[in-house]
Structure 1
Amino acid sequence: MIEVRLPKIMKENSRLKKQAGFVLTIELILIITILVIGSFVGIAAVRNALFEQKVKQQDRTVLVLDSNSQVLGEVINFDEHDAPQLFFIDRTSTGSSTNYRALIGVRDDRFTSREPIYYTELNCQGPPCIKPTSAETLDNTGISRLPNTGSVSYFQALQGAPNYAIGRSPNGLPGFLYKETFEACPMLEIIGGIGSPIGSRYISQKVLTGEPCESPFILPTSLGQPALTCQASEVDISINNVTDNLLEKKIKLGICDAGCGTNTQLQCSCPSGYYSVADGSVDGQCCPTGTNYDDPSFCSGLSLKKAESVININHPTQNALEQFTPPFQVNLPVLGGRVDGDQWYNTAPKGEGNN
C-alpha cells in the first residue's frame, strides 16, 4: 500500500523557497577581492601618470609675465639672443574678417621685432613708418649696420598680411606695436619744398642699454613707382524704373586701373592713401600720399608706408602692449626633485630635454 504525504512535501518546498538567495563561495570572495584591489591599484596608477604628465607639461611650458604677474603668452620660440618669442593676434583689422599674427620678442626690459620702425625726424620722433613685407631692396641692414644682414621679417609675408614691428613708446621703452597701412610715409618738406631722406630708425633688436634708436639714419628711397591712372569720363543715360519715372544715372568710362577706387558718385577716382595729381598737364593721375609726382608719370618718395599703432581692443585709446609693464620674466619649473629634497625623480634616457 502506497502512502501519500503531500502536506509534508509542500512544507519542504516552502522552506527551500525561504532559503533561496546568493550563495557565497571562497572562489567568489577571491574574485571580488582581486577586482576591488586591482581597481584601486589601477586608479592610483592612472592618477600618478596624469600627475607626472601634468608636472612635466608645466616644466616644459614657458610663459612670459610682466611685473604684475600678468601673462603675456606662451613662448613658441627663442631668438638669437635667447629672448623668448610669442605670438600676438591682431583682431583689429578693418575691412577684412581675417585676424593676423605678429611675432614679438620679449626681453627683461623691452619688446623686440625683426622689422624696424622708421621716423622722418631725428631721435625717433614724428610719425612712424614701416617697410612693406619682404622688402629686401629697401633696407636689409641689420643691427651691425652691414648690408644683407637682417631687418627683414618674412613671417608677415607668409601670412599675406600687413607688416608689424616694434617702435618707440612715449617713454622710449619697452616699445609699442605698429602695423603697416596703405598710405605712403609722409616726407617732411624743407627749404625749396623737397623732402629730406635723413631721419632715424628704431631697431629694437639692438643689444644695448637704453633706446635702440639710430639717429641720424638715411631713410630708404627708390627711383619711384608708376602713378595710377584713374581717369573717368561721365556719360548721362536714362533708365526706366518700376514706377516709370526717369532716373538720371552716370556711369564711369575711360581709363581706370585695377587699383583705382570710386567716389560717392560712383566715378573712378584715386583710392584711399592716394592723392590726385592736378598740375594742369595731367588728368586722372594718382600718387601715394607723401610722395611727389615726377614727370613722366612717376611718384617718387620714401617708399615706406605709414605705420599705425595697434590698439588694445578692450581699451581703444591704448596700444596693444601698453598694459604690460617691465621687468618681464618667465615662469619657473615646479618644485620637486631638488638635490636637497627627499624625493627621487626618475629621468628616462630619451635624450636631453625629455626630463
Structure 2
Amino acid sequence: MGPLPLTELTTRARDIFRLVVEEYLESGQPVGSKALAQDRGVNLSPASVRSVLSDLEQAGLLAAPHTSAGRMPTEVGLRLFIDAMMQVGEPSPAERAAIEERLKDPGPIEHALEQTSALLSDLSGAAGMVMVPQREGKLNQLSIVPLAPGRAMVVLVGEDGHVENRVIELGGEDSAASFEQASNYLTHMAQGKTLAEVLRDVASEIATERSALDTASADLVQRGLAVWSEDAANRPVLIVRGQSKLLDDSALGDIERVRSLLDDLESKQSLAALLERARKADATRIFIGSENRLFSLSGSSVIASPYKDAEGRVVGVLGVIGPTRLNYARVVPMVDFTARSLGKRIG
C-alpha cells in the first residue's frame, strides 16, 4: 500500500502518528506502543495502539527496525509530518541573541561566513554549512601596501565599504615609489569595476604596454592581482563546520551511515549542487534522505535557506546537515533567522 495523504487518516491515527514522530525526533529512538498508551492524550490500550501503529506501517508512514523495537517514521512519514503537521515557531530570544552577537563583527566577510557555519553547528547539534557568495560588486579601491622586506598586503575596498586583504610574498625589496605607482594605477583601474573586469583590463594593458608602468611597478601589479585570481579559482564553494557533531553516542550503532555521510560532506561540489536548488526557493527548503541522490546511502537531511544582499539578490545558501531525526521545528526557524541576519551583515 502506498503512503496515505493526511486527510485519509483518522483523527486517532493522526494523533498517534504525530506522537511517534515527535518522540522519535526528540529521542532518536523507535517508539513503542506501551509508551504511547501511557501518554495522557491517547487514552488507548497498548493493543489498540499496536493496531493503529500497524495501520500506519502498512500506509508507509512508519517502520519497525526490529520486531519488538517500536516504530519510527519513514522518509515519507517525515515528509508528511513536516509539510502538513509540524508547527514552526521562532528562535528563542537566547538563540536570536547568539546569532546576532556572532555576526556583528565588522571584519572580513570570510570571517562572518566561518562564524555562521560554526554557529549553525553549535545551535543545531549537526554540521553547519554556508555557500560562499559570488561577489560581483563594484570596487572603489585596490592597493598594495608594503609590510616588511619581501612581503606586502593587497587591499580590496568595495563601493559598499566591503574590505578584503591578502598577504603576498615578493621576490625582493621594492621601493616606496614602486608601491605608490602600482597602488595609484590599480585604484585608477579598479574604480567602478568588478574584480573580473579589473583583472581583464589590467592584463590587456600590460600585455600591450599601454599601462605606463615601469618594470618594478608592473611586476607588483601582476603579483597583487595574481593572488585574487588564484583565490577566486581555489576558494572552496562551501564552508562546512561541525562534522564531529555527527559522531554522537546515538551514531555509534549506525556507524556505516555516519561514515557515508562524512564522505558525502567531503564531496563539496556535489553538496553545493544540491544547495543550488535552495537558491531559487522563497523560503527554507528541507531535503530528506533519498529525496536527493547525494544522501541516498547515508539517509541524511538538509535544511537550507538562501540569504540575500541589501538589494534583495540571493548571493548564497546556508543550512545544516545531519541525521533525519533533526529537530525540524526548532532548526528550520533558526536557519531562516540566520539567513536573514547574515544578509543584513553582508549589506
Q: Same fold (TM over 0.5)?
A: no
Please tell me the TM-score bracket, short chain as reference: under 0.3
Structure number with higher helix proportion? 2
Larger Rg: 1
With normalisation by structure 1, the TM-score equals 0.21
